[in-house]
Homo-oligomer: A and B are copies of this chain.
Amino acid sequence: MATLKQPSQVLTFVSPTGEASTPEIDGIVLDVIGRVADKWTMLVLEVLAQHGVQRFTRIGQLVGNISQRMLTKTLRQMEQDGFVTRTVYPEVPPRVEYQLTELGESLCAAFCSVWTWAETHQVELKALREARDRYTTTTL
């Protein structure tokens, strides 16, 4: 983001020289977060971390309900970002194996705390959601 594009009337107020109160979040970091904060990416990351090198179809099975299209796109993106390696064996039928790179593993480790947080607070979160749902129900 942060692309050139006259912010017509957005809340932004990027001062010319920066400074002032510009606690803007670093663009690169933000961009990285944007890529990584993808549902399928996180799931594939998880799968490869737990099961090691796997083939295309296998990953799809392990992830769960994911279409070929999304699996392909996700894996390609992850490959581009250097999170996984893609190895094609010139056989017939073809065999393609995916494996986490060290970068991918380190990312996975970083996400571990979030995953743990989700598990730790799932009861609490579920309760909150149900409480909210009770309000939202009758109002329709």
Min CB distance A128 to B, Å, is 5
Min CB distance A138 to B, Å, is 14
List the B side residues contacting A37 at CB < 8 Å: 37-39, 42
Q: How many protomers of this protein does the assembly include?
A: 2
User: Do the beta carbons of B2 and A106 come within 8 Å of each other?
Assistant: yes
A24 within 8 A of partner (CB): yes
List the B side residues contacting A36 at CB < 8 Å: 114, 118
Residues in A lying within 8 Å of B, measured CB to CB? 1-5, 7, 10-14, 20-21, 23-26, 28-30, 32-34, 36-39, 42-43, 45-47, 49-51, 57, 60-68, 71, 80-82, 103, 105-119, 121-122, 124-126, 128-129, 132
